[in-house]
Structure 1
């Protein structure tokens, strides 16, 4: 008789059930043999019928133990595979999280670097603008004697600079950024300061009552370099201001035009 098994995963019946069923089957086979013996002439010599030990019970028990071990091994393998998959998933997630964190950190650093660079550029531009600024040598003053004015007071016969009105002790400022190339007594100019400007020209400040800078020192626009006075060849306190192409006497240019060309309202 053929048995049809439904498809799908199933468990073997328990050992006790299988053994019981096998014993029942053997008993059935034994009974059938006994009936056949009654119908035929074959009887044991001692007159008592007995069944043959076929070994079916032992074979079935051994097969079931093997199946149980196979099932247990398969379950262990499935558990190991599940653990490996979970571990791989966790590692992948951790790597992605680390990559995301690094990307965010790199982006934040890039933005910070860009902002810092922008601030540095702005500061440099501001400093450059400030250094390129020119101011009056005496704040709020005016020209009392013009350029090239004629008089016997000057050895050349004409004024080589301009005079700014100022009382003794008035603050005198560098008109722009530059380096001090002369600071001390200048003969007819009295106490004087000469500055080489950042554009390569020179400016001179004469008749000072005191000097606040020294040779080699750098100055910025509006920085105080001394106080006005009446030292040297003068008739009264004022500031003598010259613009020159060199540091030497005789290379003078129009000081008013020079200051106006550098943006000074005069």
Structure 2
């Protein structure tokens, strides 16, 4: 026995029929103006979104999206500030290091200059020079004659006009200053190397016993006092302060770097 679907008023309308009926109802309401007052808010919002989508416009940015954008921007600014601060610290450190190195180099340069100055002064103090600048030997060592009581010259005579400046040939300490009999006004100096030098026939003496003198320091002026026939400087080199310990003055000075 075959079964057949019931027809007529007992059959439910199909989905297509319901959709068509709904659309027809909406259209009818729209023509009467009733849809503006009967449509629910949810339906109205859906309609607005649909309208924006139909026109190609994007929905408005939400509050959360704005907050996210602000947070991203703030994070970027904070990172930029941190990087700038780090750069400043690195730059300051580099500048401080450069300053430290410059000061260290300047300090070392000063120390080096001081060492060089001390060395130059040491060499100067240990140097020797002529007792009368630009002079020459006018009477040689051990020259014979009646002018000397010992029968020979115990030193050398340097040419020196009256009043010429007489200086110590090197660094030492004055052990005699004043009248010396046949030597007239004279000065005897114990040199830094333990030897002795003597300067005779001076017109005047400008140092005193116990005084330390340096190379080139004035000790008197030349003259013709004592056993002398005219202004000159009698110069002796000795191994001791005593008379008779004389050595060749020219060899003595040359051995100490003096051009003579």
TM-score range, shorter chain: 0.5 to 0.7
* Match of residue 158, structure 2, among 157, 164, 177: 164
Separation in 1, partners of 2:95, 2:160? 67
Aligned to 2:113: 119
| Unaligned runs of at least 5 residues, structure 2 | 1-39, 47-61
Note if 1:251 corresponds to 2:242.
Answer: no
Q: Which moved more, 1:131-140 or 1:184-193?
A: 131-140
CA–CA separation in structure 1 for the residues paired with 2:90 and 2:45: 63
Tell me how far apart the structure 1 counterparts of residues 73 and 133 of structure 2 sit (CA, whole Å): 91
Offset at 1:243?
0.8
Q: Does 1:219 align with 2:209?
A: no
Number of equivalences:
209
What is the distance in 2 between the residues matched to 1:187 and 1:121? 46
Residue aligned with 1:214, SS: coil
Alignment of structure 1 residues 10-49 onto 2, 5 Å:
22-23=42-43
| Counterpart for residue 132 of structure 2 | 138
In the TM superposition, what is the alpha-carbon distance from 1:98 to its structure 2 partner? Answer: 0.2
The answer for the alignment partner of 1:239 in structure 2 is: 233
4+ residue stretches of structure 1 with deviation over 6 A? none
CA 1:21–1:167: 2 relative to 1, 3 Å: same
Tell me what 2:89 maps to. 95
- Report the alpha carbon displacement of residue 161 of structure 1 after superposing the two structures with TM: 1.5
CA 221–158 in structure 1, closer or farther in 2 if over 3 Å, else same? same
1 CA distance for matches of 2:116 and 2:199? 33
Distance 2:170 2:236 in 1: 13
Structure 2 partner of 1:41 = none
Per-residue Cα deviation, 1:209-237 (whole angstroms, up to 9, x for no partner)? 11122334343333332111222233433
CA gap 1:69/1:148 in 2 versus in 1, 3 angstroms: same
- After superposition, the C-alpha distances for 1:31-71 in whole angstroms (9 at most, x for unaligned) are xxxxxxxxxxxxxxxxxxxxxxxxxxxxxxxxxxxxx6755
Instruction: Within 5 Å, give how 1:193-232 maps onto structure 2.
Output: 193-232=187-226
**Aligned match for 1:189, one of 159, 183, 191:** 183
Q: 1:205 Cα shift?
A: 0.3
Provide the secondary structure at the position in 2 that maps to 1:179: strand
Which residue, 135, 141, 147 being the options, matches 2:141? Answer: 147
Instruction: Supply the distance in 1 between the matched residues of 2:176 and 2:74 (Cα, whole angstroms).
Output: 90
- Give the unaligned 5+ runs of structure 1: 1-19, 27-67
Instruction: After superposition, give the CA deviation of every residue in 1:140-180 in whole Å (9 maximum; x if it has no partner).
Output: 43333332334555454443212223343222122223333
